[in-house]
Amino acid sequence: MKVAVVGVTGMVGKIMLKVFEEEGLNISQLIPVASSKSIGREISYNGEQFTVMSMEAALKSRPDIALFSAGGETSIKWAPKFAELGTVVIDNSSAWRMDPSKKLIVPEINGNELDIEDKIIANPNCSTIQLVLVLKPLNDKYRVRRVVLSTYQSVTGTGVKAVRQMENERNNIDGERAYPYPIDQNCIPQCDVFMENGYTKEEMKLTNETKKILDPNISVTATAVRIPVIGGHSESVNIEFETEFDIDEVKKLLSEMSGITISDDPHNNVYPMPITAEGKNDVFVGRIRRDETQPKTLNLWIVSDNLRKGAATNAVQIAKNVSRFI
């Protein structure tokens, strides 16, 4: 199986290679691809050295699968060209997510919908993935009516420029900024650009992608906040159901869901945090409790490494899923 990783030198691309190694996927040929400034660089994978190549060279190599993590413009331009050759493109940008002709996949939820005809597959937004993975078993049992959430998102979600900004601020170094304000010792209630309705693109992704993946009848309203952490994204989530629930049953349903780890023992200060989720593939859930202000409503706290399950791991899991067609 020939696999191309487009954006291999970026934060997500590097994690993709790590996850491939961890999963032991049978890759006969790795095709590392990056922007023009990285062409010719050497990267290491599975104990071997590979030379980063151009998009044109990768296209000529005719990979079986291409994982894209190089931004929406690159995906719009190049994904169809690879797909025309029969390559299965798994795209990490937002370019194809809401395209009705493309599937938006979290393998534990809807991986069985994939078939041999799918040539461009969309990887959901990082914050959406960890949310829907938790909502899925609860929606199946109780039917989710409405979700109100606030996200607390790592600077890694913006990219290496944001990580550098935070590190520079912590070391009193003047440098290039990814954000309009300092991020160290601060919270910025803006992830991505603002839209006409007053919400950011990130907040609307949570709304629209949840509907597409799970159920168009679920109402989702979100506030997305950038915080000065590295390890992952956190979410405070309030879920209103159509039917009544039992807390012990909720915990049982979540513990049985593939990809979820329960971390919920508040009396011993046990709950998920970015610092403990970093480098792990699971989605962690804790602070599971009833909303005492209204019936049929649950509060919980979700944390996941946004570079792992929120991006690279989910994409590699999709690749494993489609490899059966190759």
126 assigned to active site: yes
Collapsing DSSP to helix, strand or coil, 300 comes out as strand
233 assigned to active site: yes
Distance CA 281, CA 83 (A): 28
Distance of CA 151 to the CA centre of its chain: 13
Active-site choice (126, 187, 191, 267):
126
- The 8 Å CB, 24+ separation contacts for 193-202 are 200/224, 201/94, 202/125, 202/127, 202/151, 202/153
Active-site choice (187, 191, 233, 267):
233
State the CB neighbour count (10 A cutoff) for residue 135: 23
Separate counts of helices (H) and strands (E) for the chain: 10, 14
Distance CA 302, CA 102 (A): 27
In the sheet where 103-104 sits, what is the strand order? 29-33, 2-6, 65-68, 88-91, 120-122, 103-104
Counting beta carbons within 10 angstroms of the beta carbon of residue 230, is it exposed (0 to 12), middle (13 to 18) or buried (19 or more)? middle
Helix (H) or strand (E) holding 58: helix 55-61
Catalytic residues: 126, 233
